Structure 1
Amino acid sequence: MLTAAVSFVLTAGGVAVAGLRAYRRRYLSAIRWFAVALLPAGLYLTGLFPVARTIGSEFADWATKLVFDPRVWTGIVLLAVSAALLVATRWAGRRRAVDATGDGRAVTGPAAGRAAVTGAPVAPGAADRKSAPKAGGQDDGLGDFSDIEEILRRRGI
């Protein structure tokens, strides 16, 4: 009985605030307030307050165990170690793919998988051609436009 009264008082208060927001021509804010105001009545009428109470109680129990139980801290440490190992293996795999080319360029595409798995050097043609420096030995940062340059050159532009 008390839950119903509190729910509907909260809903009425939220609707009143929404009405004030709408009166001040802040319609988006009024709609948000109205949406939030409907939640307590909806939770009561659907019978979800006992569920919310159970969830809150279980969460409080978990938080208490988190602070005081060494077994939970051991689990957290194991999760952190697992995440660190996954990140380290990803980093090492990428580094091995870069080292396999021999010239410091990263291998991309299917060649990256072969280099990472076999550890064998990959032919320079297997690397991404767009990242290769120009014939002059200097990379001007326009390697991605080499195809466009070639097309323009063929057309005499």
Structure 2
Amino acid sequence: MLTAAISFLLTAGGVAVAGLRAWRRRFRSATRWFAVALLPAGLYLTGLFPLASTIGREFADWATRLVFDPRVWTGLVLLGVSAALLLATRWSGRRGAVESSPERPAAAGAAPERPAVTQAPKAAKASGKQAGKRDDGLGDFADIEEILRKRGI
């Protein structure tokens, strides 16, 4: 009974503030106040106040155990290690690390797979095409460098 009175008083107070805001022609603020003012009555009428108090008590019990129970600290450490491992694998995957997959046995009657033939990279100096240019890894920027040089930058 006390919960009902408090919730409807809060709703009435919020509606009054919303009315004052609307009277001052601050309609957006009045709408927000009105929306928030409806929450206590809505929570009471749906029966969510007992649920909220149960959740509050359980959270307080958990917080108490967090401070005093070493098992909770162990669980937090395990969660932290798990998160760190997940982030590390994501980071290493972005850095271009290659995972090796286990070999699969060939199916009966199937021809064995041949490894892909890769060609050895040709040396720039051996080809003679880039004999005058330096090999500093910026070969892709040669065109941009030439344009900037023409413009005097």
TM-score under structure 1 normalisation?
0.63
What is aligned with 1:47?
Answer: 47
Tell me by how many angstroms 1:118 deviates. 4.3
What is aligned with 1:138?
Answer: 142
Can you give the 5+ residue segments of structure 2 that lack an aligned partner in the other structure? 102-117, 122-137, 146-153
- Return the structure number with greater helix share: 1
Deviates more, 1:33-42 or 1:82-91: 82-91
* 1:74 matches 2:78: no
Tell me by how many angstroms 1:96 deviates. 4.5
3-state SS of 2:76 partner: helix
RMSD in angstroms over aligned alpha carbons? Answer: 2.7
Tell me by how many angstroms 1:20 deviates. 0.7
Tell me by how many angstroms 1:140 deviates. 3.2
Can you give the 5+ residue segments of structure 1 that lack an aligned partner in the other structure? 98-115, 125-131, 142-157
Identity rate, percent: 75
Take 1:70 and 1:139, find their aligned partners in 2: how far apart are those partners?
63
User: How many pairs align?
Assistant: 113
What is aligned with 1:117?
Answer: 99
CA separation of 1:77 and 1:140: change in aligned 2, threshold 3 A: farther
Tell me by how many angstroms 1:117 deviates. 3.0
3-state SS of 1:117 partner: coil
Take 2:100 and 2:4, find their aligned partners in 1: how far apart are those partners?
68
What is aligned with 1:16?
Answer: 16
> Which structure ranks higher in relative contact order (CA pairs < 8 Å, sequence separation ≥ 6)?
2
Tell me by how many angstroms 1:138 deviates. 3.2
Deviating above 3 A after TM superposition, structure 1's stretches of 4 or more consecutive aligned residues are 93-97, 137-141
